[in-house]
Amino acid sequence: MLTVGSLFSGAGLCDLGLTWAGFKHSWFCEIDPFCRAVLARHWPDTPIYNDVSLIKGADLPSVDVLCGGFPCQDVSGAGCRAGIKTGTRSGLWYDYARLIGEIKPKYAVIENVMGLLSLGIEAVLQDLAAVGYDAEWEVLPAAALGAPHHRERVFIVAYPDGGDDDRERRLLSPLAGILGKSYEPVRMADWLGIRFDRTDRASAPTAYGGRVIYRVDDGRAEGMDVPVRAVALPARVGRVSKDQMLSCLPALKALSNGIVPHQSYTIGACILQAEGLPVQPMP
């Protein structure tokens, strides 16, 4: 079983997908108090470090995999587009790169928004090369896994430079087989029997007028809330009181900053296959 150290863990959505696949977490690092509480409930016996800029590789338990999505505010199309620079939120990437060099994991899984491809991926790849790592990347939309929204995310998988010994095939090449028909290059996606056009960002809410955001924290690392226990948002914001909205904000922030766990599951499955290890079936 491969062990994981998680950076910028958030509410553990990326980590949930890796847990599904068969990884075991050794530690987390997350600064947000609400997210730390969620992690502590799902993984009660796993240490949680606070500030990525203060931890040192020599002080951390050894792990096979580092994973995490560093802050996207400065590379996102919806942000200020300042890029990866010291002193910016997205500049925390430099601490991720530092820890890769200090820990020397077998793999590093780096997740971020599509904007990274036009503003920052060169810096990421250069920093990975500087600490001796090669990298592959893919854009994996949540819609390709049946979610009713696009949520396209870039996943970079880095591994130690093999020198002249090139891999027989790309580590991420099994993705299409793992995803099956949902990853075929077709226009339409299927979710709960509802078909919507993945090329049209307005098509999902047009096709489905229901409520799709639910609580994640049910106390189990193996799964998300079942509908019976889920607390849905009212269909119209006008029905929400100020106190209700304020109580929802930490959870909504955690969800909006996260990914669909199925996305990280597929990346984890590729790594396990490359290692010749069994992959647990997706729930």
* Residue numbers annotated as active site: 72
| Under 8 Å between Cβ of 46 and 37 | no
- Phi (first) and psi of residue 96, to 5 degrees: -60, -50
- CA 74, CA 85: separation in Å to the nearest integer? 9
The CB density around residue 231, as the number of other CB atoms within 10 Å, is 10
